[in-house]
Amino acid sequence: MHTTTLALVGATGGAGTTRTAVELAAVGARGGRDVAVVDAAFTTQGLSEYVAGRIGTDLTALVTDETEASLSAAAYPLVGGDEHSPGPVPNSDGTDGTDAPGHVDILPARAPFERLARAKTAAAARKLERRIGEAASAYDAVVVDVAPVGSNEAVAAVAAADRVETVHPASAHGRDALQRLRGRIADVGATVDGSIAVEMRDGLGTHADAAADTDTVLPAIDSAVAVAPTAASGDGAYARALAEVYERTFDTSPDLSVAEPGLIGRLRSSR
């Protein structure tokens, strides 16, 4: 079965799930795919940090107050690359950098507590499943950012996805958390199709800590939002590891050679 929707489920808080989701989407855009990153981690709402400017309608509104609104109402272009350069990065020939083959949209959660509480109900979770299905029809690929399975929205995301992969720190603590997460996912009737370990820059985890129980190990990178997406350009170890994940999860191989200097500008631009 061709995978359209991937749920990336964090084994712990701070595992790097949100950043991995954004970077994986950027790799897809390099290969000419239009990719949506959907926030199913309503409590932390970390995906909203990758959107520039004010967020009006967000994903929680689409599953509570604005259930008749189109999905595009909560879709925002990914911004990244350089905190000192809020506009598109120009190409070397002086053009505006909007000629990259694909693009990334972020569908963030950014809600006050009252709406957040309503978005976490079982009824709203069923609407979230339908919204994820709607995204799968509108985009070539959908990456869902999922918190450790323990909420209605997380269960809905896992249930809606074609494939489930876990994200955990490359450490002994991360391996223990991964085993607990596998049990939780099994409890809700789903299976783990693959696992991603993220090396930490603090040196507490290494490739060797994760290699025994993971499919891909992502090298440590600067975790600051301002420098994302790192994988929008270059073909270093981090980008290559993400390309391996993309090929495994979406059954298609992104061509890292297609990235141009203006790709980050293209990711910034509106659809």
Higher-pLDDT residue of 258, 271:
258
Closest to 242 measured CA to CA, from 16, 75, 80: 16
- Can you tell me the distance from the alpha carbon of 81 to that of 226, in angstroms, rounded to the nearest whole number? 6
Query: What percent of the chain clears pLDDT 70, i.e. is strictly above it?
Result: 81
Spatial contact of 79 and 268, defined as CB atoms under 8 Å apart: yes
Residues 5-268: name the CATH superfamily: P-loop containing nucleotide triphosphate hydrolases (3.40.50.300)
What's the pTM? 0.86
Model confidence over 14-63: pLDDT tens digits?
A: 889 999 999 999 999 998 999 999 999 999 999 999 998 899 999 999 99
Domain assignments of the chain as residue spans, ordered by start = 5-268
Model confidence over 238-265: pLDDT tens digits?
A: 999 999 999 999 988 887 775 444 544 5
Q: According to the model, what pLDDT value does residue 209 have? A: 52
- Can you tell me the distance from the alpha carbon of 61 to that of 230, in angstroms, rounded to the nearest whole number? 30
pLDDT, average across residues 133-152: 95
pLDDT, average across residues 176-199: 92
Model confidence over 206-248: pLDDT tens digits?
A: 555 555 678 899 999 888 888 889 988 888 999 999 999 999 9
Nearest-10 Cα torsion for 144, 147, 152, 158: 40
87 pLDDT band, cuts 50/70/90, is very low
Radius of gyration of the chain (CA): 17
Q: According to the model, what pLDDT value does residue 14 have? A: 86
